[in-house]
Structure 1
Amino acid sequence: MKPVKIALALCAAVSLAACDAPKKDKTVDRGLDSKHLSQLKAGIWIDPNGCDHWIIDDGIEGYLSQRLDPYGKPVCSGTAPPNTVTGPFKRGSTVPDPV
Structure 2
Amino acid sequence: MKTLKITALVGLVVLVSACEDAAFRELGPDKTIDRGIDSKHLSQLQAGIWVDPNGCDHWIIDDGVEGYLSARLDKYGKPVCSGVAPPTYTAGDFKKGATSLIGDPI
Computing the radius of gyration over CA atoms, which structure comes out larger, 1 or 2?
A: 1
* Matched length: 89
Q: For residue 86 of structure 1, what is the aligned residue in structure 2?
A: 91
Which of 38, 49, 60 is residue 33 of structure 1 equivalent to? 38
Q: State, as a whole percentage, how many aligned pairs show the same letter.
A: 71
TM-score normalised by length of structure 1: 0.71
How far is the alpha carbon of 1:79 from its aligned partner?
A: 1.3
Counterpart contact for 1:58–1:92, Cα < 8 Å: yes
| Unmatched tracts of structure 2, length 5 or more | 1-6, 100-106
Counterpart contact for 1:59–1:91, Cα < 8 Å: no
Paired with 2:48 and 2:69, the residues of 1 have a C-alpha distance of 10
TM-score normalised by length of structure 2: 0.67
RCO comparison, higher one (Cα < 8 Å, 6+)? 1
Q: For residue 66 of structure 1, what is the aligned residue in structure 2?
A: 71
Please report the RMSD computed on the Cα atoms of aligned residues, expressed in angstroms: 2.8
Deviations 1:32-60 (A, max 9, x none): 11000010110000000000000000000
